[in-house]
Structure 1
Amino acid sequence: MISGFVRNCCFGDAVDLYYEMVETSVVRPDCYTFPVVLKACGALSDGRRLHCWVVKLGVVVDFFVASSLVHMYTRVGVVDGACKVFDEMGKRDLGSWNAMVSGYCQNGRAEEAMGVFEEMRLKGMKMDSFTITSILPVCAPLDDFWKGQLVHVYVIKEGWECNVFVCNALIIMYAKFGRLRQAREVFNQMVVRDLVSWNSLISAYEQNNDPVAAHAYFDEMKLNGFQPDVLTLVSLASVVAQSGDYRNSKSVHCFITRRNWITRGIFAGNAVMDMYAKLGNISYAKRVFEGMHDKDAISWNSLITGYTQNGLVNEAIELYDKMEGSEGVRPGQGTLVSVLPAYSHVGALQKGMKIHGRSIKVGLDMDIFVGTCLIDMYAKCGKLDNATSLFEQVPRRSTVPWNAMICGHGIHGFGEKALEFFEEMQKEGVKPDHVTFVSVLSACSHAGLVDQVDRCFHLMQEKYGIKPILRHYGCMVDSLGRSGRLDMAYKLIKNMPVKPDATIWGALLGACRIHGNVELGKLASERLFEVDSKNAGYYVLLSNIYANVGRWEEVDKVRSLANDRGLRKTPGWSSIELKNRVDIFYTGNQSHPQCEKIYKELEILLAKMKILGYLPDYSFVLQDVEEDEKQHILTSHSERLAIAFGIISTPPKTSIRIFKNLRVCGDCHNATKFISKITEREIIVRDSNRFHHFKDGDCSCGDYW
């Protein structure tokens, strides 16, 4: 009867019948009973009670009973319990070995899984296809490509290269290592392919950012008579997002909707929502989210990430707060990784610290991804000491936390310290990647270390074989431009092996703004408008260059061109967090409850500044107005309003932290130095480029930014 229930998947009935047997019957279970009923156990409590009966009746020595216990413990996720039974077994069959390998794999313990696999191999245990398909996914987390190749050799030796399940696992393994040629060779040599084979290959190209090839294999799959399933469409949604293919995004959505995959399962809805978010169509992403009957943590995480990536950080924070208040969904690793960048963006240190507390409570503070996001949050909120302290605690075997520390010190202008971390990283045997070099080059550029930028650029190619991408060239152009070597920067752009994008020309245009090179700035802007005509910031930069030299007719032309194209300048704002509340100020803000006190404080500060020698720099007023109006415009810049609010709202001599969405202007930078001296405060300002630490009339950037 128990066996009959199990065969018909009535597992609860099988377990209940076992309990009825031992409680009401004189018949005792034997070594034939336990293997059957252990298959039905879905709860650890039932499994442990059965284990006690096994020990009590002395049948633990039975080979089949012991094997069933191993399978039961791995199935409920108690791998240590399975390991204990496994170690005490006098005899083991292939099923027991496989149970241990897959149990470790399914519970994220890759090293132990590989250890069991190695023990099997050394003891001469003949493996089957289940062993191979269990161990291949372990190779990527261990970063052991050589081991994956050895398994492939074993597959060929045993004649399993025609086994469809083994070949599918090989394709996935090669894809995880970015070895698309080998993945394609395995696929091409398959005599029989199923839908999983096609899905695996499409996913391989999608995961390795080759959307064109992924789409081509999707078309070929349909020509071969295979109808896509939900997994195919999930990969295709990602392909569409990578390609920026707005037209086909609707087609994918319609295909999934017609089959009711969104209403019947969370997986498809999450994929469509993520696709729209990556395409910048956040309103559609929100609509899909709201239309889903069931939502899991990934659903919430996807929309939070979408808001953050599209600059809607307040919406991301509000959604996270709503998620915390919802029933049935608990924020996990993915949630914390999604929302922390939003707090970093607005400088919400207190809320970020609250997330840190939650991560400690749930045991995620040492998770490599959560830990790195916390390091990034503390660095971008001006707390480098906290970031460094956390960095010393998290695992540092990958580049991710190192990159965060290098980048963090870079945006604070501590280029030498960033280089020290870079050197220490290499000494500890962590190989830098292309992101590392973007962080190093950017850090050196911000600190004016032009020679070090050049050295690291060549080191990247000659020692580590990393081919420069546009972001690396952008750092080089930025470094040369900031230091005034505009001709060298332009020459580098002309000799680049790749076509310069908006980032490259934008860096050159920004340098022309700093050094007042009108002609080269005009040339850079012309190239910019060819590759990115919809970014209002570039029109603003060019008009600023003309305004600085008093060419107001040219200013009007540029502004008219931007208006004709329907472009609007991003409004400048500055935020300050006090008493767990974030106040945001816009330039000329008159709506704040303490508006009168703020402007009165600014008048007092201005008078004191002028006594100390402050002279307003009207070149940063980009309107052709009278001098007194220019003074008012400078005084009402958003960062000055936020600083004044901080002064009247906090005790004397306490530090003030300001966050600005645009680059701080030269006059405000000069004025803040005077304010720091007058008030005897440290004023920390983070603009769109970097941090400025003002103290005793000086700035950490050394007036180089």
Structure 2
Amino acid sequence: MISGYVRSGSSSEAIKCFSLFMMTSGLQPDYRTFPSVLKACRSLLDGMKIHCSALKYGFVWDVFVAASLVHLYCRYGPVANARRLFDEMPVRDMGSWNAMISGYCQSGNAEEALALSKELKGMDAVTIVSLLAACTEAGDFVRGVLIHLYSIKHGLDSELFVSNKLIDMYAESGNLKSCQRVFDEMTVRDLITWNSMIKAYEVNEQPVRALKLFEEMQFNRIQPDCLTLISLASTLAQLGDVRGGRSVQGFTLRKGWILEDVTVGNTVVDMYAKLGLVDSARAVFDYLPSKDVISWNTIISGYAQNGFAAEAIEMYNEMEEGGEMTPNQGTWVSVLPACSQSGALRQGVKIHGWLLKNGLCSDVFIGTSLADMYGKCGRLEDALSLFYQIPRVSSVPWNTLIACHGLHGHGEKAMKLFREMLDEGVKPDHITFVTLLSACSHSGLVEEGRWLFELMQRDYNIAPSLKHYGCMVDLFGRAGQLETAFNFIKAMPVQPDASIWGTLLGACRVHGDVDLGKVASEHLFEVEPEHVGYHVLLSNMYASAGKWEGVDEIRGKGLRKTPGWSSMEVNNRVEVFYTGNQTHPMYEEIYKELRSLHEKMKMIGYVPDHRFVLQDVEDDEKEHILMSHSERLAIAFALVTTPPKTSIQIFKNLRVCSDCHSVTKFISRITEREIVVRDSNRFHHFKDGVCSCGDYW
């Protein structure tokens, strides 16, 4: 009866039946009774009562009863209790060993599981599966290969669930060749096998192969389940396949999975966000009948990753105000980058206060995100202070602070941080060198950049990626070494992509080299002919050089450039100004202030630079166009709405033009204000007529 109740899932009835048996039957339990009733226990207290009965009747050292107790304590109690019981067992069978090893794995003690397995004289298929899981969790893939060899030697690799676990282990290590070899040698495959292989290629960013496997799975008439669709959605997002993504959503709707399983709904939201379809992501999010914290994290990060920082912060506030969902680590590392993007310092400080109150700032990911937020909101000292309070054993926090210093144009300080990182024994990775090369680029440290590029290959065996090559082209281009940059591209062992040719084109525009810019644009449009931004960049280069026929030819294609805008936070509200905008409620006051500043600047030596007016109009009209650039509107607004001599902070979506850079220096001198401008490239700190960039950006 007890066993029957357990098999049918009636755990409470099984416990009642055992109690009735003990109190009324007058019979004694035997060694078969306890394993069955221990399976029915749903709490540690229930299990301890059964343990006492087993002790009373002398069955606690029976190998089956003891193994069942080990299972129970691994599930509900401290694993140390299970280990004490295991060590005291006079005889252990394979089931006892498997119970203890799997108990360690389930409780996250993979190292203990592997250490215990060294005492084993033999293994069965269950042991191998548990140990492969432990190897995966501990990252001990050499041990995993040895276990694989053992399974081959003893003919256990033919077991379906062993082969499936081998695929998972090799996928986690990134060894896709071994994954494929195990898969190819399998005579029997189930749905789990196909899901494991599709996931292996998906998580290792080989979406084409993952999609091909899905098609093979369909050809073999294997019906997909939720896990298949989760991997497939991520695969299609990597491929940028919008049509396929919508098909996945349709399939999940027809099956009802999107309503029944929140994980599926979250996956579809994430897929649309990665495809850049944030409206579709939001529609699915709103459609979900139940939402967990991952649902909220997914939509927040989706908005942030697509540049909708204000919407990401709004969703976070909605989540917080609802009170039903407690934010977790994923929430903070999603919303803090949104604060960084939009310069929402007050919101970031508010989140910091909550994290301090709850003792979460020491978490390396949260602490790093906070440091990144302060650094990108112009508070570099606060970023450094946080940085030295969090664990720094990995490259992640170091990379963040190096990038923040680069953004502020402090290349020398970034290099100093790098040397400090090496002194503390932290190994740099490929991202470290991307951030360092970028920092050198923004500070004109050409020789230091050359040295870093050689160092990463020679001492750290890091093969340069297109990002590293792009940083080097940017380094030479910003320094005006355009021929060096062009020769560097021609000598690259890999095919240059659009971003590299675009970087060279941008440098040609800044330094006025129209001939080389034309060569760069020809290569660029071979690689990516439809990119509007690069056509606009070429048009702007012609306009700066006064070659209006070239401008007309490009603009005749109907291209539209990204409108320039600047934002600032005043009185807990973010104000946004677009270039040429005349609809702001304070329009009259803003332009009156600009005209007054314009006259004062001319008296102390300001001469408008008409090269940055990209229309063929008269000089008076050019001056008016320059005066209506978005950052000037934002600065003028700040001057008339904030107390004298207080600092001003502006965020701009595009690169600040040279004329606006010059004007801001004059304004900082005239008004005796510090003006901080973060454009798409870096921070500019203007004070007393001088910029922190040294006119190099």
TM (norm. structure 2) is: 0.90
Q: Which is worse superposed, 548-557 or 46-55?
A: 46-55
**Are positions 1:635 and 2:627 aligned together?**
yes
Structure 1's 260 and 99: CA in aligned 2 closer, same or farther, altered over 3 A? same
Residues 14 and 40 of structure 1 are in contact (CA less than 8 Å); yes or no, is this contact kept in structure 2?
yes
Report the residue type matching 1:614 in the other structure: Y
CA deviation after TM superposition for structure 1 residue 348, in Å: 1.0
Match of 1:676 among 659, 668, 683: 668
The aligned counterpart of 1:512 is: 508
Structure 1's 577 and 476: CA in aligned 2 closer, same or farther, altered over 3 A? same
The aligned counterpart of 2:10 is: 10
Deviations 1:508-559 (A, max 9, x none): 1110111001122223233333433443332332222222222233323322
Name stretches of at least 5 consecutive residues in structure 1 with no aligned partner: none
Match of 1:115 among 112, 117, 122: 112
Structure 1's 547 and 302: CA in aligned 2 closer, same or farther, altered over 3 A? same
Report the residue type matching 1:288 in the other structure: V
CA deviation after TM superposition for structure 1 residue 60, in Å: 7.4
CA deviation after TM superposition for structure 1 residue 179, in Å: 0.9
Structure 1's 135 and 550: CA in aligned 2 closer, same or farther, altered over 3 A? same
Residues 94 and 125 of structure 1 are in contact (CA less than 8 Å); yes or no, is this contact kept in structure 2?
no
Structure 1's 418 and 256: CA in aligned 2 closer, same or farther, altered over 3 A? same
Report the residue type matching 2:363 in the other structure: D
The aligned counterpart of 2:653 is: 661
**Are positions 1:470 and 2:441 aligned together?**
no
The aligned counterpart of 1:284 is: 280
The aligned counterpart of 1:499 is: 495
In 2, distance between residues paired with 1:48 and 1:653? Answer: 71
Deviations 1:133-180 (A, max 9, x none): 233234345443323223323333443221221221111111111111
The aligned counterpart of 1:577 is: 569
CA deviation after TM superposition for structure 1 residue 387, in Å: 2.2
**Are positions 1:187 and 2:183 aligned together?**
yes
Match of 2:303 among 301, 307, 317: 307
The aligned counterpart of 1:404 is: 400
The aligned counterpart of 1:298 is: 294
Structure 1's 573 and 60: CA in aligned 2 closer, same or farther, altered over 3 A? farther
Residues 536 and 570 of structure 1 are in contact (CA less than 8 Å); yes or no, is this contact kept in structure 2?
no
Q: Which is worse superposed, 409-418 or 651-660?
A: 651-660
Q: Which is worse superposed, 663-672 or 89-98?
A: 89-98
- The 3-state SS of whatever aligns with 1:602 is helix
In 2, distance between residues paired with 1:636 and 1:279? Answer: 35
The aligned counterpart of 1:448 is: 444
In 2, distance between residues paired with 1:408 and 1:361? Answer: 26
CA deviation after TM superposition for structure 1 residue 94, in Å: 4.7
In 2, distance between residues paired with 1:518 and 1:554? Answer: 11
**Are positions 1:105 and 2:101 aligned together?**
no
Matches within 5 A, 1:525-564: 525-561=521-557, 563=558
The aligned counterpart of 1:688 is: 680
In 1, distance between residues paired with 2:334 and 2:77? Answer: 27
Residues 102 and 113 of structure 1 are in contact (CA less than 8 Å); yes or no, is this contact kept in structure 2?
no
Report the residue type matching 1:116 in the other structure: A
The aligned counterpart of 1:145 is: 141
CA RMSD of the aligned region, Å?
Answer: 3.3
Deviations 1:10-37 (A, max 9, x none): 2244456678899999999999876555
Report the residue type matching 1:331 in the other structure: P
In 2, distance between residues paired with 1:55 and 1:589? Answer: 84
In 1, distance between residues paired with 2:37 and 2:694? Answer: 74
CA deviation after TM superposition for structure 1 residue 475, in Å: 0.9
Structure 1's 630 and 172: CA in aligned 2 closer, same or farther, altered over 3 A? same
Structure 1's 414 and 3: CA in aligned 2 closer, same or farther, altered over 3 A? same
Structure 1's 193 and 27: CA in aligned 2 closer, same or farther, altered over 3 A? same
- The 3-state SS of whatever aligns with 2:567 is strand
The aligned counterpart of 2:475 is: 479
The aligned counterpart of 2:169 is: 173
In 2, distance between residues paired with 1:579 and 1:510? Answer: 37
Q: Which is worse superposed, 445-454 or 604-613?
A: 604-613
Deviations 1:635-687 (A, max 9, x none): 33222222233344444443322211111111121222223333333322111
In 2, distance between residues paired with 1:670 and 1:498? Answer: 39
Q: Which is worse superposed, 666-675 or 38-47?
A: 38-47
Structure 1's 620 and 259: CA in aligned 2 closer, same or farther, altered over 3 A? same
- The 3-state SS of whatever aligns with 1:693 is strand
CA deviation after TM superposition for structure 1 residue 362, in Å: 5.3
Report the residue type matching 1:689 in the other structure: N
Structure 1's 69 and 630: CA in aligned 2 closer, same or farther, altered over 3 A? farther
Report the residue type matching 2:75 in the other structure: R
Q: Which is worse superposed, 447-456 or 522-531?
A: 522-531
Q: Which is worse superposed, 688-697 or 617-626?
A: 617-626
CA deviation after TM superposition for structure 1 residue 363, in Å: 5.4
Report the residue type matching 2:74 in the other structure: T
Matches within 5 A, 1:322-337: 322-326=318-322, 328-337=324-333
The aligned counterpart of 2:432 is: 436
In 2, distance between residues paired with 1:417 and 1:537? Answer: 33
- The 3-state SS of whatever aligns with 2:427 is coil
- The 3-state SS of whatever aligns with 2:580 is coil
Name stretches of at least 5 consecutive residues in structure 2 with no aligned partner: none
Deviations 1:401-432 (A, max 9, x none): 22212212111111122222333333444333
Q: How much identity, in percent, do the aligned residues show?
A: 59
The aligned counterpart of 2:314 is: 318
Report the residue type matching 2:40 in the other structure: A
In 2, distance between residues paired with 1:55 and 1:388? Answer: 59
Structure 1's 69 and 672: CA in aligned 2 closer, same or farther, altered over 3 A? farther
The aligned counterpart of 2:414 is: 418
The aligned counterpart of 2:252 is: 256
CA deviation after TM superposition for structure 1 residue 262, in Å: 1.9
The aligned counterpart of 2:637 is: 645
Residues 114 and 135 of structure 1 are in contact (CA less than 8 Å); yes or no, is this contact kept in structure 2?
no
The aligned counterpart of 1:128 is: 124
Matches within 5 A, 1:581-600: 581-600=573-592
Structure 1's 101 and 509: CA in aligned 2 closer, same or farther, altered over 3 A? same
CA deviation after TM superposition for structure 1 residue 181, in Å: 1.1
Residues 301 and 338 of structure 1 are in contact (CA less than 8 Å); yes or no, is this contact kept in structure 2?
yes
TM (norm. structure 1) is: 0.89
**Are positions 1:523 and 2:519 aligned together?**
yes
- The 3-state SS of whatever aligns with 1:640 is helix
Deviations 1:575-630 (A, max 9, x none): 11234332222223334444444334434444443444333222222223333433
- The 3-state SS of whatever aligns with 2:9 is coil
In 1, distance between residues paired with 2:77 and 2:549? Answer: 73
**Are positions 1:354 and 2:350 aligned together?**
yes
Deviations 1:87-121 (A, max 9, x none): 776766554554444344334x3xx3212321331
The aligned counterpart of 1:160 is: 156
Deviations 1:362-395 (A, max 9, x none): 5543334333322322221122222222222333
Structure 1's 703 and 29: CA in aligned 2 closer, same or farther, altered over 3 A? farther
Q: Which is worse superposed, 421-430 or 575-584?
A: 421-430
Report the residue type matching 1:342 in the other structure: A
The aligned counterpart of 1:216 is: 212
The aligned counterpart of 2:40 is: 40
In 1, distance between residues paired with 2:626 and 2:348? Answer: 32
Structure 1's 376 and 547: CA in aligned 2 closer, same or farther, altered over 3 A? same
- The 3-state SS of whatever aligns with 1:632 is helix
The aligned counterpart of 1:622 is: 614
Residues 371 and 401 of structure 2 are in contact (CA less than 8 Å); yes or no, is this contact kept in structure 1?
yes
